[in-house]
Amino acid sequence: GEDVEQSLFLSVREGDSSVINCTYTDSSSTYLYWYKQEPGAGLQLLTYIFSNMDMKQDQRLTVLLNKKDKHLSLRIADTQTGDSAIYFCAEANDYKLSFGAGTTVTVRA
């Protein structure tokens, strides 16, 4: 999605926190989503945030939203080897999703 941008790669040590950043352009987006895709698999919904919220926490996941700057981040605490995957952020308009290119997260021992 040309309207949603993410960094392409992130390498993190096991046990550290991962932070994946995303910027979007559509100010009318109502919800923003994070998905995880493991090799050969479909998309797993991790979490979503309403565009009027600043933060949402769900177990090891924390989403921060700066609506003024149109910046979204996903923090994964205590990153594990099973967190190695591609992470997509997406903005929604009428529940139609525009995706970023995906961030490949590699967890090293």
Residues making contact with another protein (CB under 8 A) = 1, 31, 33, 35, 41-45, 48, 50, 88, 90, 92, 95-102
- Provide the b/e sequence for 30-62 (b: ≥16 CB within 10 Å): eebbbbbeeeeeeeeebbbbebeeeebeeeeeb
Q: In the bound complex, what is the minimum distance in angstroms from residue 95's beta carbon to another protein?
A: 5
- In the bound state with another protein, the residue whose beta carbon lies nearer, of 74 and 97, is 97
Instruction: Closer to another protein by CB, 85 or 90: give it.
Output: 90
Q: Closest distance between another protein and the C-beta of residue 43, in Å?
A: 4
Instruction: Give whichever of 45 and 109 is closer to another protein, judged by the CB atom.
Output: 45
Place of tokens 């923090």: 75
Closest CB 6 distance from another protein, rounded Å: 9
Report in angstroms how near the CB of residue 16 gets to another protein at its nearest. Answer: 26
Specify whether the CB–CB gap between 103 and 20 falls below 8 A.
yes
- List CB contacts of 81: < 8 A, sequence separation 6 or more: 14, 107, 109
CA dihedral 81, 62, 38, 82 (to 10 degrees): 20
Task: Give the nearer residue to another protein in terms of CB position, either 73 or 104.
Answer: 104
